[in-house]
């Protein structure tokens, strides 16, 4: 079922570009949230393809003095977060995603808020469907701070329509846009 939902949501993302107004609305909701305002260090991905754009959040975070950290993948589907700076170098992964090269790696205990990517989310449980690699579920297994997700309305399901396994880690809050 996850594969079916993943395919359907990806098709909708490709068919329905995210409006500038929807992006601004979602950005403002996140920036106004207590989780964002309290956080000093924020883990966030660089958006890719049809994902909800994250560059404005990254820029806003840096502009307000927050330390933004970006994931870098490793062997065995492991992940670590690197501090974003003006000296950060970039390389494309085999999936086409930009990742930092070098830089300062920080421990997950130093990250106050994690913006978790995904394709589909359950409003009732916080469960998510990602791209299927399990990178974030592995990383979040022993992460104890706040997690949020960004979603368009068609990415959010009121009840969970897929089976979770013991490795799936839910997010604490899902922010959606009005489009």
Binding-site entries for substrate: 46, 51
Residue with tokens 């922010």: 175
Q: Could you write out the three-class secondary structure of 142-174?
A: CCCCEEEEEECHHHEECCCCCCCCCCCCCCCEE
Binding residues for ATP: 2-6
Q: Residues for the chain: how many in total? A: 179
Residues placed in the known binding site? 2-6, 46, 51
Tell me if 128 sits within 8 A of 120, measured CB to CB: yes
- What is the rounded CA–CA span in Å between residue 119 and residue 151? 8
How far apart CA 80 and CA 85 sit, in angstroms, is 16
Query: Measured between alpha carbons, how far is residue 57 from residues 6, 93, 172 in Å?
Result: 25, 22, 19
């Amino acid at each position: 079922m996850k594969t079916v939902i993943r395919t359907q949501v990806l098709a909708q993302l490709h068919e329905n570009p995210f409006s500038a107004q929807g992006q601004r609305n979602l950005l403002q909701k996140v920036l106004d949230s207590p989780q964002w305002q309290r956080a000093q260090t924020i883990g966030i991905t660089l958006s890719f393809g049809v994902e909800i754009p994250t560059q404005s959040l990254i820029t806003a975070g840096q502009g307000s003095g927050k330390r933004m950290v970006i994931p870098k993948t490793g062997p065995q589907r492991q992940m670590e977060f690197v501090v974003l700076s003006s000296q950060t170098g970039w390389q494309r992964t085999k999936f086409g995603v930009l990742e930092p090269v070098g830089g300062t790696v920080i421990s997950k205990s130093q990250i106050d808020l994690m913006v978790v990517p995904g394709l589909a989310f359950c409003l009732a449980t916080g469960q998510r469907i990602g791209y299927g690699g399990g990178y974030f579920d592995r990383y979040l297994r022993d992460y104890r701070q706040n997690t949020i997700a960004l979603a368009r309305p068609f990415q959010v399901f009121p009840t969970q329509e897929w089976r979770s396994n013991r490795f799936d880690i839910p997010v604490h809050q899902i922010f959606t846009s009005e489009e």
